[in-house]
Amino acid sequence: MKHFTLFFLASSLLLIAACTGSKKSTKKDDNKIDITFLQLNDVYEIAPLDNGKVAGMARVATVNKQLKQENPNTYTVLSGDFLSPSAIGTLKYEGKTIKGKQMVETMNAVGVDFVTFGNHEFDIKETELQDCLDLSNFKWVSANIKHKTAAGYEPFAKTKNGTKEIVTPTYIINAKDADGTTVRVGVIGTTLNFTMPDYARYYNADSAAIAAYNFIKNQTDFVVLLTHQSIDQDKQLAAKLPQVQLIMGGHEHDNMLEKVGAVTIAKADANVKTVYIHRLQFDKKTKKLSFKSELKAINDKISQEPQTFAVVEKWNKIAEDNCIAIGMNPKNVVMNVPTDRPLEGRETFVRSQRTNLTLLIANAIRSTNPKADAVIYNSGSIRVDDQLSGNITEYDILRTLPFGGKILTVDMKGKLLSQILEQGAKNIGSGGFLQYDEWISQNKDNQKTEFWLGKQPIEPNKSYKVLITDFLLTGKEKGLPYLTRDNPDILNVAEPDSKNKADLQNDLRLAIIDYLKKGGK
């Protein structure tokens, strides 16, 4: 902790001159200056969604340009979760798995200024994260995530044009307007606690943010926070730091605007279906900050900025070539879904209940082994966070389940099966919430919830044949560390033949595509 504190004090001294309006002006200084923040969070897809109707980073680039014309002191921020997961990120380019490079190149084109880490930035390997850091033109800020190196825990850093640039806890924007008013805006970044990879370490977000604020407050006129944590955690932090009037957050995928005293907490919809525009004005005489927050829909009414559009198209072509190489035709339509009955893939639904999409996936898994007793998979494998309607393509299946994965046939005792299902129900609201097929049901008689198979309760000592995804058998899902191959209640694990491309259990997505091509049978 001593090392962290020393680093914090040293690195926080970094000032970034982002001055605009440097030309001499004949206007009288009114001691008021306007700052605009364009806020994005949780972005996994670079191209428009819903058959091109909504979202799209090239449209965000257009909004960014328009805001800069309105006010040159405009800064675009992304509050974590953008390197993983995504359909394109799981594919390969120039011999390497893409793992977020498509997002970084697109964000560079958009003109993103600041980001903080989300938990999904650490889904990828250390070398992959480093590649993305080095590729990025934007600044990273993080007060509570450190890099494990041979020398100990140090800040992450990127190397750009031969120069090493550390990820600092804080950042200071020095801005100037046309009449000469100047302002110093502090930016602090924090990330929620989660299971860290071996190459990184988490420090308490609240403590780090408070320490960062106390150090930077006398160097700035006001401070804003970039956070990637739950809304409850943001509210807790807002109560501890009432001097910070704006928290631009991420992690939840639905837009929200909350107030805790004088503090505003804003989150936009994931995948830039919406963005937040915060127009701030600081009065240097009164030292008062005022602002308005506008939630703006990103849709087909907004043109796509050409430079960013070209980058998006480049990666779309790479994705198309990859899909063909693994036996998929990304443009091939596998089903048509009525617009008034879309497939429900939004995170808030699939992580708390069964939907028509989760049931479709379960049925497709069962089609690979109709003799199985049950199907179980984790809702966190569904990453589309969207309602799918109209012509559903093979690429839509890829982006729905970007991680893919094998389907395993596991013989297990009923007591383990019940234990798994009970834990899955407790994981409601997270990716560990388990989805299952219609053969499994909950019986809540006698004020006790029991899981049944068909019309019978699960028998503790009976063996059941269960189809699960290979990730679930790693023990890495929330509350399921015991679900591994060496569990004594697992009697047998049958894996697909990896050399047989016709074995659909080798890739969950190919199984779904085959199931849909056969009319859902």
Tell me which residue of 325, 381, 394, 375 sits closest to 92, measured CA to CA: 325
**At a CB cut-off of 8 Å and minimum separation 6, what does 383 contact?**
44, 85, 86, 399, 400, 401, 402, 403
Mean pLDDT of 232-249: 98
Q: Domain residue spans in the chain?
A: 2-306, 330-517
Q: What is the pLDDT of residue 504?
A: 94
The full DSSP string for 174-212 is EEE-TT--EEEEEEEEEE------TTEEE--HHHHHHHH
pLDDT bracket for residue 51 (50, 70, 90)? confident
The reported pLDDT for the residue numbered 447 is 57
Q: Is the peptide bond before 85 cis (omega within 30 degrees of 0)?
A: yes
Confidence band, pLDDT 50/70/90 cuts, at residue 455? confident
How far is Cα 345 from Cα 83, in angstroms, rounded to an integer? Answer: 20
The contacts of residue 466 (CB under 8 Å, 6+ apart) are 372, 373, 374, 375, 376, 409, 410, 411, 412, 417
Q: What is the dihedral of CA 143, 144, 145, 147, to 10 degrees?
A: 80
Residues of the chain with pLDDT > 70: what percent?
Answer: 93
- Nearest residue to 509 via CA among 384, 375, 365: 365
**3 state DSSP class of 246:** strand
**Is the pLDDT reported for residue 363 higher than 60?**
yes
- Give per-residue pLDDT as tens, 115-172: 999 999 998 999 999 999 999 999 999 999 999 999 999 999 999 889 999 999 999 9
Burial degree of 292 (CB within 10 A; 0-12, 13-18, 19+) = exposed
**What distance lies between CA 259 and its chain's CA centroid?**
24
Q: Is the pLDDT of residue 356 over 90?
A: yes
Distance CA 47, CA 106 (A): 10
Superfamily the domain 2-306 falls into: Metallo-dependent phosphatases (3.60.21.10)
Query: Pick from 14, 8, 3: which is nearest to 215 by CA?
Result: 8
Using a pLDDT cut of 90, give the percent of the chain over it: 77
Q: What mean pLDDT do residues 478-502 have?
A: 94
- Reported as a pLDDT band with limits 50, 70 and 90, residue 339 is confident
Instruction: Kindly report the pTM of this predicted structure.
Output: 0.82
Number of neighbours of residue 458 by Cβ within 10 angstroms: 20
Segment 436-450 shows an average pLDDT of: 78
460, 414 Cβ separation under 8 angstroms: yes
Q: What is the mean pLDDT of residues 298-318?
A: 97
Q: Is the pLDDT of residue 2 over 50?
A: no
Mean pLDDT estimate for the chain: 91
Instruction: Give ∠ CA 57-60-66 in degrees, rounded to 5.
Output: 150
pLDDT category, 26, cuts 50, 70, 90?
A: low
How does residue 14 score in pLDDT terms, banded at 50, 70 and 90?
Answer: very low
Tell which residue, 97, 79, 80, 81, has the closest CA to residue 89.
97
CATH of domain 330-517: 3.90.780.10
Q: What angle do CA 131, 133, 136 make, to 5 degrees?
A: 105
Q: Which tokens in the block code for residue 83?
A: 């390197």
Q: What is the pLDDT of residues 60-85, one digit of tens each?
A: 999 999 999 999 999 999 999 999 88
For 503, the token pair is 């074995």
The total of other beta-carbon atoms located within 10 Å of residue 264's CB is: 20
Of 228, 315, 312, nearest to 270 by C-alpha is: 228
Tokens standing for residue 171: 């950042």
Q: Are 427 and 434 in contact (CB under 8 A)?
A: yes
Using CA atoms, how far residue 400 sits from 268, 318, 388, in Å, is 21, 18, 9
Cβ neighbour number for residue 78 with a 10 Å cutoff? 29
- The pLDDT of residue 448 is 63
Structural contact between residues 376 and 434, judged by C-beta atoms closer than 8 angstroms? yes
**Residue 297's pLDDT band (cuts 50, 70, 90):** very high
Pick from 178, 186, 248: nearest CA to 34: 178
pLDDT band per the 50, 70, 90 thresholds, residue 323: confident
Return phi, psi of residue 309, to 5°: -60, -40
Task: Give the single-character DSSP code of 341.
Answer: S
* Residues whose CB falls within 8 Å of the CB of residue 42, separated by 6 or more in sequence, listed in order: 79, 80, 81, 82, 118, 250, 251, 252, 253, 270, 271
The answer to whether 265 and 224 are in contact (CB under 8 A) is: no
Using only the alpha carbons of the chain, give its radius of gyration: 25
What band does 326 get if pLDDT is binned at 50, 70 and 90?
confident
Per-residue model confidence as pLDDT tens digits over 247-292:
999 998 889 999 999 999 999 999 999 999 999 999 999 999 999 9
- By the 10 Å C-beta count (0-12 exposed, 13-18 middle, 19+ buried), 155 is classed as buried
- 521 Cβ neighbours under 8 A, 6+ residues apart: 367, 515
Could you tell me which of 154, 151, 186, 153 has the C-alpha nearest to residue 167?
Answer: 154
Query: Quick check: 166 and 94 in contact, CB under 8 A?
Result: no
Whether pLDDT at 23 is above 70: no
Q: What's the CA gap between 362 and 225, in Å, rounded? A: 41
Tokens read off for 164 = 């090493």
Residue type, 212: A
The rounded distance, in Å, linking the Cα atoms of 479 and 322 is 35
Show the tokens assigned to 222. 């006001």
Can you give 251-317 as a three-state secondary structure string? CCCCCEEEEECCEEEEECCHHHCEEEEEEEEEECCCCEEEEEEEEEECECCCCCCHHHHHHHHHHHH
Question: Which tokens belong to 23?
Answer: 């030309």
